[in-house]
Amino acid sequence: MEILVFLTLLVVGLHSAAAVTHSLKYFYTGSSQVPNFPEYVSVGMVDEAQISYCDSNTNRNEPKQDWMSRVTADDPHYWERNTQICVGNQPSFKANIETAKQRFNQTGGVHIYQVMYGCEWDDETGEVDGFIQFGYDGEDFIVLDLKTETWIAPKQQAVITKHKWDHNRGQTVQFKHYLTQECPDWLKKYVNYGKSSLLRTELPSVSLLQKTPSSPVSCHATGFYPHRADMFWRKDGEELHEDMERGEILPNHDGSFQTSAVLDLSSVTPEDWRRYECVFQLSGVKDDIITKLDKAVIRTNEETDMTIIIAVAVVVVALIVIAVVGFMVYKKKKDGEAKALNNSSDSGSEQSERLNPQP
């Protein structure tokens, strides 16, 4: 369940009505023996923006976007119901971790159990799709193939679960109904509630960063929205595929995003720098943002370090990336020990009940 930064030439805010594919995703994470981390966390996201949060410490599901408060106008008991789901999930997640430990002949230690499910909707074609994946200790355990309505088990320890769930046709039909019908209906409501935010277009500020004169040059873009973007280097107008590394698109604290592309200059002569440029492309925006490779505009040393420190600090908006945090803790503790996804095979019908009311 391979579930799951940056920066000076231009800041512009625009609005666009370009057709896009919207997504609604939920992440349920159960953990065992993770220091200073709740045993259960649920996070909801629309178009990569966090909309809800609940954990086993607060036992309260709460909105994370101002516009999400509008949901109670149509559904007065929405937050109360989803709080009950959050609380009700906790015992089963704890039990599923224990079951998974037995399957993998484990005893104590740090363990992460996770469910990711949701749907996508193309607001132009009307096409919808859904997904549900279960994970254990950072690796895929079992995934639903909606086309064949069967379960895929990449781990031997998941075969028992696959057989049980493949024979439970009622559960599979229920999952498919939620993922392809109810979930898209909720997604459309959320997009309507938050359209002024979700349908906006914001261009980034872009800058070139370099730690030392011999270090690679990082082209950083921050503050853009939506997250559907690309950044790369090109030489003489041709996109580079070697000596260039794309960074991930990561969230900022304000709901915008950031990314980077790093260029290795070890084989580039100073005379050839003018042949290189960084290109940023944003979905729905016709014109690219182009930044020429120029020593005069590169930020270096302490200035660069401070920029990165601030950017990284801002990115740690906990709980949007709850799964990644959990997985990193696990990998540090277990030194790379590979384990597989979720084992809710003994509580599948309960999971189905949890999915249906969780929009």
Domain boundaries, the chain: 20-197+318-355, 201-315
Residue 301 pLDDT: 60
Within 13 A of 130's CA, how many CA atoms are on the CB side?
Answer: 27
CA–CA separation, 282 vs 16, rounded Å?
A: 11
201-315 is classed in which CATH architecture?
Sandwich (2.60)
* Amino acid symbol at 30: G
Q: How far is CA 320 from CA 51, 52, 61, in A?
A: 9, 9, 14
Whole-prediction pTM: 0.73
Q: What pLDDT is attached to residue 253?
A: 87
Residue 258: closest CA among 316, 329, 322: 316
What is the CATH class of 20-197+318-355? alpha beta
Distance of CA 33 to the CA centre of its chain: 24
CA atoms within 13 Å, Cβ hemisphere of 11: 8
Query: For residues 33 and 108, is the Cβ–Cβ distance under 8 A?
Result: yes
Please count the CA atoms within 13 angstroms of the CA of 310 that sit on its side-chain side. 9
Of 347, 351, 338, 343, nearest to 137 by C-alpha is 338
Instruction: Check residue 19 and give its pLDDT.
Output: 57
Question: Hey, do 20-197+318-355 and 201-315 end up sharing a CATH topology, with the first three levels equal?
Answer: no
Assess contact for 225 and 237: CB atoms under 8 A: no
Q: How many residues does the chain have?
A: 359
- Give 58-108 as a DSSP string: T---EESSGGGGGHHHH-TTHHHHHHHHHHHHHHHHHHHHHHHHHHTT--S
CB 21 within 8 A of CB 219: no
CA dist list (Å): 359 to 93, 117, 269, 318, 356: 19, 10, 56, 22, 7
What pLDDT is recorded for position 347?
Answer: 33
pLDDT along the chain (359 residues), means of 10: 30 42 95 94 94 97 95 94 94 92 92 96 94 94 95 94 93 94 96 93 96 92 94 96 93 92 92 95 93 92 49 44 44 38 33 33
What is the rounded CA–CA span in Å between residue 63 and residue 44?
9
